[in-house]
Structure 1
Amino acid sequence: MTLFNNKRLDKKLFAIDVERMQLGWYSDAYFINIFNILETLAKENYTFQGISDIKEINEKLVNTGDLKVEMQFFTRRKPFSLIAGVDESLAILEDCTGYFDENNQFINTYEQLEVEAIQDGTFAFYAGDPQNVQPVLKVRGRYRDIAKLETPILGALTEASRVATNVYNVLEATQGKDVLFFPARFTHYKLQALHGYAYSLAVQAYNHKHNKNSSTFVSTDDQGDWWGGKGGGTVAHSAIACFLGDTAETMAQFSRIIPIEVPRIALVDFHNDCVGDTLLVMEKMFEKYWQYYSEGNLEEAKKYKLFAVRSDTSGSMRDISVEPLGAEELDLGVNPRLVWNMRKAIDHAYLRWNIPAPARDLAITWCKDVKIVVTGGFNVEKIKKFEKLQVPVDIYGVGSSLLENCSYHGSGNDFTADIVRVFIGDQWYPMAKVGRTHCNNPNLELIKG
């Protein structure tokens, strides 16, 4: 299934290190070795001197150094991958296919290739049979011109598809609830744009497949760079520390100063008392809200509309509101009982307030509109447990698990590239290691050739 508008990313976004890519700087050394061998053989006008697996040809007429091949790239993640990294792979091919001449000038031979590729954001399936795969990229051309590019292309496909597929699986687990993309601190900053793009593809793919309307929330501007998103967020524990531990005052000043389009989400676990700090924040925020609302200043009142509260309780801590049962999985961290405690407190917070009668109905709605965001150690398995128990979580914040290699799906997130055919004379002949073969994918599109 191909998604969206069939537009590919501008290759300038990838900021590819073209000069060093052409030199093989990012390539496994054995690809440099085969390139050097083939280049030398081409200069020597060498013809094949061995015994070919292809019996119907005259192998003595094969110029090995200039052999034209067909390569196919495919995922080995079971049962499927949401593919990303194709557009970057195409950019690598376009700028880095070729060789250096005797004057050490790079000769780009991309125009001599035939290339087919699927769209980023397309599903590819793998049932575990390497003879029945769905290639996401096919390249036909002189092998020595593309030998150095296999490593970076496989890396681009693997990294982006791993994150996209992980995010998609998380969205399946949440049943379409919004997922805050929080892995920036768990990887090198240069990967933020790639990861954020993969995340955006996953949200679009999930919405498209399930007719949902999940939103995108990234935490840094770079995560949104390739697709037009902007980083968003509210407060960190360090902000509360700067306000000497007063979470309510932190949120009051945040709401006064930060533009209204930024959701007001209070982080409420600073004192390991999520219920207590939630109630303090809500009381202070509604007091300001009602003040401006009653004056008719609705725009200023909107600044104090609390969007959500977030618990990030450490997995080694038991929140004050959670009565101990003697089992870590039931007592510690962000657990279902804590979230239920928070929901009950949020919905009935207005009963504690000394407010005039005209404010009561407004306060009831204001409280019920407050959402609950949970973060800290959430992955597919934990989210599924919460959803099965119908825990009243509105938004999940997920971080490091979105970057993990999901080995429980068989072969992890590996991508593989194989030569599957060679061109001799005027026709293609099968040529692949045992267990691999030439395969097709109906979602492949002709890029050039």
Structure 2
Amino acid sequence: MSRFHIVNDDTIARGGCTDVYFARCEEVLEKEGKNPRVTVEVTTTGVPGGRGIFCGLDNALALLEGLPVDVDAMPEGSAFYPREPVMRIAGRYRDFGRFETALLGFLCHASGVATAAARIKGAAGGRQVYSFGSRRQHPAIAPMIERAAWIGGVDGVSNTTAPPGIPVVGTMPHAYVMCHASPEEAWIAFDRHMPPGVPRLMLCDTFGDEKEECLKAAETGVATAVRLDTPRSRRGDMRAILEEVRWELDTHGHGDVGIFLSGGITEEDVLAYRDIVTAFGVGGAIANAQVIDFSLDIVEIEGRACAKRGKWSGTKQVWERPDGLHTILPVSVPGPADAAPMLVAQVRAGTIVGDTGMEAARARVLALL
């Protein structure tokens, strides 16, 4: 085990990170000489809000690359609904069965983050949303979290390990302000030393009343926005605080200074304050989002439709109409004339043939929003 209790890439890639019953059953099947050709599908029976955003395909394909399997899946950033297969794998069971644990982990976690990010971005009504959840997650998975949040539609992320191409943003911590003789000294020093492209978002609730510190920040002449990070234990009526701050900024001639809100922000907060807040920094509501409870189930064995109780047997295709409506049909049945198949080729005989581009996935989500 590593110093930080992290499983390394090689262990995951060889199937060493799995639930023990997969390893045990693989041993029994091998001794019995059984290795049927199967088709499995990845589905879920429930999605927060009724619609999810599919994410984590890049890791899933990297895991399955080189195995003697064919994989079809929805492109990342696609919307999906309960019971719809988001991925289909065809091959001999023992060749990929032990990878189920890691495969579902990739898809469940990343799809949960992307779905939460998309819901919050949609709720923001055009306001900017940033992923600020690095401290709410294990640092080893920060790049995955930020990638999924970016695909989900956020406008930037805070963690410095985010994949290339994602804007990395941030303001200042309370500790920074406390390292100076006064908040004013901290704000002016920040402006003096930060490059021009770094937004001058001044943290304004370290010592005093939010209104008081926001006015002081605006009066320095360097603030483009003031940031309130007041914890829930001190908020009181947050709506009243925001309205008071906005009123005082406007009354004193600082109408061009925006308000940035962070600190335990939820989707409900975004809906409640989006008319008065310029941008939101969202932490745990994205980084610790509810996972999508995907499962992987056999739907065909040796060419015969077969499924356990509660699952629909047979290989299926999901068809999407121009208006976004979906239809699930057996793969042998032609789809509606105006619809396109959503599960497309991703791996053929172990070779990746699909596109896992991050920006294309994000564009799909933004189009939905």
The answer to whether the superposition gives a TM-score over 0.5 is yes
8 A contact 1:16–1:92 mirrored in 2: no
Question: Which residue of 2 is the match for residue 82 of structure 1?
Answer: 53
- Which amino acid in the other structure matches residue 272 of structure 2? K
Mapping 1:21-100, distance limit 5 Å: 21-42=12-33, 65-78=34-47, 79-95=50-66
- Matched residue SS, 1:138: strand
CA deviation digits over 1:257-309, x for unaligned, max 9?
A: 0101010000000124111111112222x2xxxxxxxxxxxxxxxxx3x2210
Determine if the alignment matches structure 1 residue 342 to structure 2 residue 245.
Answer: yes
8 A contact 1:179–1:395 mirrored in 2: yes
- Matched residue SS, 2:232: coil
Partners of 2:289 and 2:172 in 1: CA distance: 30
Q: CA deviation at 1:385?
A: 2.7
Q: CA deviation at 1:30?
A: 0.8
CA deviation digits over 1:38-62, x for unaligned, max 9?
A: 12222xxxxxxxxxxxxxxxxxxxx
Mapping 1:80-229, distance limit 5 Å: 80-95=51-66, 110=67, 112-126=68-82, 133-203=83-153, 216-223=155-162, 225=163, 227-229=164-166
Partners of 1:273 and 1:254 in 2: CA distance: 21
CA deviation digits over 1:150-197, x for unaligned, max 9?
A: 000000001100000011111122112111211100000111111111
- Which amino acid in the other structure matches residue 237 of structure 1? H
Determine if the alignment matches structure 1 residue 279 to structure 2 residue 215.
Answer: yes
Mapping 1:225-374, distance limit 5 Å: 225=163, 227-244=164-181, 246-284=182-220, 286=221, 304=222, 306-317=223-234, 331-332=236-237, 335-350=238-253, 367-374=254-261
Question: Which residue of 2 is the match for residue 432 of structure 1?
Answer: 307
Q: CA deviation at 1:405?
A: 4.8
Partners of 2:63 and 2:14 in 1: CA distance: 13
Determine if the alignment matches structure 1 residue 383 to structure 2 residue 270.
Answer: yes
8 A contact 1:38–1:66 mirrored in 2: yes
- Matched residue SS, 1:191: helix
The structure that has the greater radius of gyration is 1
TM-score by length of 2: 0.81
8 A contact 1:221–1:229 mirrored in 2: no
1:138 and 1:16, CA in 2 relative to 1: closer, same or farther beyond 3 A?
Answer: farther
Partners of 1:19 and 1:267 in 2: CA distance: 43
Partners of 1:23 and 1:201 in 2: CA distance: 28
8 A contact 1:180–1:217 mirrored in 2: yes
Partners of 1:142 and 1:404 in 2: CA distance: 35
Q: CA deviation at 1:375?
A: 1.1
TM-score by length of 1: 0.67
1:150 and 1:22, CA in 2 relative to 1: closer, same or farther beyond 3 A?
Answer: same
8 A contact 2:155–2:167 mirrored in 1: no
Partners of 2:208 and 2:231 in 1: CA distance: 9
- Which amino acid in the other structure matches residue 158 of structure 2? S
- Matched residue SS, 2:44: strand
Cα RMSD (Å) of the superposition? 1.9
Q: CA deviation at 1:23?
A: 4.5
1:169 and 1:239, CA in 2 relative to 1: closer, same or farther beyond 3 A?
Answer: same
Question: Which residue of 1 is the match for residue 342 of structure 2?
Answer: 443
Greater RCO structure (CA 8 Å; 6+ sep): 2
1:22 and 1:197, CA in 2 relative to 1: closer, same or farther beyond 3 A?
Answer: closer
Partners of 1:186 and 1:150 in 2: CA distance: 26
CA deviation digits over 1:224-267, x for unaligned, max 9?
A: x1x512422121100111003x1111111110101010100000
Q: Percent identity over the alignment?
A: 28
- Which amino acid in the other structure matches residue 26 of structure 1? C
- Matched residue SS, 2:233: coil
Q: CA deviation at 1:113?
A: 1.6
1:310 and 1:401, CA in 2 relative to 1: closer, same or farther beyond 3 A?
Answer: same
8 A contact 1:86–1:137 mirrored in 2: no
Give the unaligned 5+ runs of structure 1: 1-14, 43-64, 96-109, 127-132, 204-214, 287-303, 319-330, 351-366, 407-411
Partners of 1:159 and 1:145 in 2: CA distance: 24
Question: Which residue of 1 is the match for residue 297 of structure 2?
Answer: 418
8 A contact 1:178–1:394 mirrored in 2: yes
Partners of 1:122 and 1:420 in 2: CA distance: 22
CA deviation digits over 1:400-434, x for unaligned, max 9?
A: 1213454xxxxx620110011011xxxx1012102
Give the unaligned 5+ runs of structure 2: 1-5, 319-340, 350-369
Partners of 1:403 and 1:261 in 2: CA distance: 26
8 A contact 1:220–1:230 mirrored in 2: no
CA deviation digits over 1:323-367, x for unaligned, max 9?
A: xxxxxxxx35xx1111111111111224xxxxxxxxxxxxxxxx2
- Matched residue SS, 1:316: helix
Partners of 1:394 and 1:275 in 2: CA distance: 16
8 A contact 1:161–1:198 mirrored in 2: yes
Where is the helix percentage greater, Structure 1 or Structure 2?
Answer: 1
